[in-house]
Amino acid sequence: MFGRSTKGTVGTTKSGAEAQEKERALIPRGSVLEVLAVATRLGFTCFGGPIAHIGYFRNEYVVKRRWLDEKTYADLVALCQFLPGAASSKVGMSIGILRAGLAGGLVAWLGFTLPSAIALTVAAIVLRGVDNDTISLLHGLKVAAVAVVAQAVWGMARNLAPDRPRATIAIAAATAVIILPTAIGQVTVIGVAALGGWRFLRSDDDKPSGSGVAVPIPRWLAIASWVLLFGLLIGLPIARSLVTSQALSLYDSFCRSGALVFGGGHVVLPLLQSEVVPPGWVDRDQFLAGYGLAQAIPGPLFTFSAYLGAAMRPAPNGIAGASIALIAIFLPSMLLTLGTLPWWGALRARPTAQAALRGVNAAVVGILLAALYSPVWTGAILRPADFVLALAAFGLLVIWRCPPWLVVLLAAAGGALVAAPTLSR
């Protein structure tokens, strides 16, 4: 009896070790320099926003290099979309961690982020001291932002709010955010939508979906990441109320924005606008022009934070402000990645989490729809010619499938014509 029990235990242990070894073999380990080289190339070539980035990543990491299989990649993308923060950047960091450990995750973020962050910082420094009214090209960038955000709303609505219940959630979310245009209002909308999805959007098609991949992150580090994240979200506003420091206020605003964004880079627009425009750190024209310019730059849309940090009126600004804003907005994504990867299979296995995600995604569509109205539309469409230019840009994006960078350049040239005295009368 005891012999049979011992034999079974030994057999189980052996098979468990073999299974663990097989799991580890799913993602072969590589070098940090290898991850940095691939991520940097993606940082220079990934145009089109978070959804397009996911396609670039799949082609590079799954199809071309076979660093992970299709199933693992799909599960990883779903996890990163479920969590707040920069979705495509979290995917890149996660693949870097799985490939080369924590250092691999860091260089994956650096390579993908720095090219666009540097370009936007330089642009902000060049344009900061110039009167916006004398640069007609900036008006075209603001109009381009209308077309880009409208395209994002169109595409996300088709994918994330395709039926009556989710479309209703999206419209209700847009209405609530317009009535309560604050970060607290947006967080409340997302929370209510998650509860609504959990209660009313469950599907018989929901099935457990685990990844079966060994993640090289110790559990203690994951727990510490969650503790640090909540400590920052609670402690920074308290410290800001006690200490008069523009650098601390800047860090707090961008850190909270990075932690509360669901649905990708476009959705950060209303959060950042509510943080930097009302206090006068950046005026509305600078904000919209920078957002339009960010569409012409490859890499994650969250690097728009570098532009805002560099364009700030109060110090720190320039390179210092860009560095603070950039690190602050991406730090929550990094901590969420570290804190969740060890348990990603268990999270994805819960049908209730999938249902809540449907509600959150529908609310994200509504939040972005509200941002399309204000500040994007109200700040850019000032005359009939503006509407014609925005409509043309939208047609180029949606119908003719032109790359965003080309549409932005054409809109900038068109903005020079629209803003000319003979057309603005």
Q: Is the pLDDT of residue 224 over 50?
A: yes
Lowest mean pLDDT among 33-42, 88-97, 228-237, 260-269: 260-269
Convert the pLDDT of each residue in 260-269 to its tens digit: 877 666 777 8
The tokens for 59 are 């082609």
pLDDT value of position 174: 93
Q: Is the pLDDT of residue 236 over 50?
A: yes
% of the chain residues with pLDDT over 90: 36
Q: What is the DSSP string of 23-70?
A: HHHTS----HHHHHHHHHHHHHH--S-HHHHHHHHIIIIIIIS-SS-H
56: number of Cβ within 10 Å: 18
What 3-state DSSP class applies to 321? helix
Q: Is the pLDDT of residue 13 over 60?
A: no
Predicted confidence band of residue 374 (pLDDT cuts 50, 70, 90):
confident
- Residues 301-310: what's their mean pLDDT? 93
The answer to whether residues 407 and 292 touch, using CB atoms and an 8 Å cutoff, is no
pLDDT value of position 9: 41
Cα–Cα distance measured from residue 423 to residue 421, given in angstroms and rounded to the nearest whole number? 5
pLDDT value of position 183: 64
The answer to whether residues 197 and 390 touch, using CB atoms and an 8 Å cutoff, is no
Higher pLDDT, 342 or 234: 234
Rounded to two decimals, what is the model's pTM? 0.75
